[in-house]
């Protein structure tokens, strides 16, 4: 839409500054007015898309060698390896999202808590704030994110690994911010490995085959679904 506005105004011989500002406004408008649950970063990415594409399509792009366009792809693969593409994309846990979680899901002081797929550690920080006496662990497949996460979260033990191959049995809580498609796999793994009394916590995405033991509401309204072993399975509806 931003490019259409810009090209149309230039075709009408409008001043370049007017065409540019109109294109920027058209690209930024959805991020500013649409009632989506957008974070500040998402709004910034939306608003910056047109100016960035315009800059790269001009004289700057003409001076770049052809192979340089592979660099962003290489950086993406480095930060987000191919093996992790079936997992959740990088969406960090919002600040304050887990405040009050311990009242619904109390843990003993020496409990071990795992964030499966910890990214840069936003969830680890929230878990540490909510369970300050617990031992916090994180697992992340991307090694650059793992290194950065450990640097940001010195209170936690962060290791590189596959969350689906890791052993969940030592933990009294496993926290996830995954995708709806990965929840059945998480339920299957948690059912096999989590010990009685341990919690499975999922931000936003429900395990539809289980009855939640509690639901925590984040300040932005999103739920954290809480399931405690032994899980209560919902009866599947029989089809006529």
| 218-233: b (≥16 Cβ within 10 Å) or e | beeeeebbbbbbebee
Residues in the chain: 240
Question: What's the predicted TM-score (pTM) here?
Answer: 0.70
- Ranges of beta strands (E only) in 71-169 are 112-116, 135-140, 157-160
Reported as type and span, the H/E element at residue 27 is helix 16-33
Task: Give 15 or 68, the one with higher predicted confidence.
Answer: 15
Task: Give 85 or 227, the one with higher predicted confidence.
Answer: 227
What confidence category does residue 203 fall into, taking pLDDT thresholds of 50, 70 and 90? very high
For position 7, what pLDDT does the model report? 87
For position 238, what pLDDT does the model report? 44
* Contact indicator for 41, 58 with CB cutoff of 8 Å: no
The residue among 188, 163, 176 whose CA lies nearest residue 223 is 176
């Amino acid at each position: 839409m931003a490019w259409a506005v810009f090209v149309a105004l230039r075709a009408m011989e409008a001043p370049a500054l007017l065409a540019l500002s109109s294109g920027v406004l058209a690209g930024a408008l959805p991020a500013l007015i649409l009632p989506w649950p957008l974070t500040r970063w998402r709004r910034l990415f939306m608003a910056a898309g047109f100016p960035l594409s315009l800059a790269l399509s001009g004289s700057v792009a003409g001076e770049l060698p052809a192979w340089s366009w592979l660099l962003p792809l290489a950086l993406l693969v480095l930060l987000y390896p191919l093996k992790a593409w079936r997992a959740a994309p990088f969406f960090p846990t919002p600040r304050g999202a887990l405040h009050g979680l311990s009242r619904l899901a109390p843990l003993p002081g020496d409990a071990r808590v795992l964030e499966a797929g910890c990214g840069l550690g936003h969830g680890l920080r929230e878990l540490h704030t909510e369970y300050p006496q617990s031992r916090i662990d994180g697992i992340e497949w991307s090694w650059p994110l793992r290194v950065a996460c450990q640097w940001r979260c010195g209170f936690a033990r962060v290791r590189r690994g596959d969350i689906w191959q890791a052993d969940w049995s030592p933990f009294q809580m496993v926290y996830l911010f995954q995708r709806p498609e990965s929840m059945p796999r998480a339920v299957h793994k948690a059912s096999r490995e989590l010990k009685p009394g341990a919690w499975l916590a999922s931000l936003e995405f429900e395990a539809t085959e289980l009855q939640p033991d509690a639901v925590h509401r984040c300040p932005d309204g999103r739920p954290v679904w809480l399931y405690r072993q032994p899980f209560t399975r919902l009866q599947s509806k029989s089809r006529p």
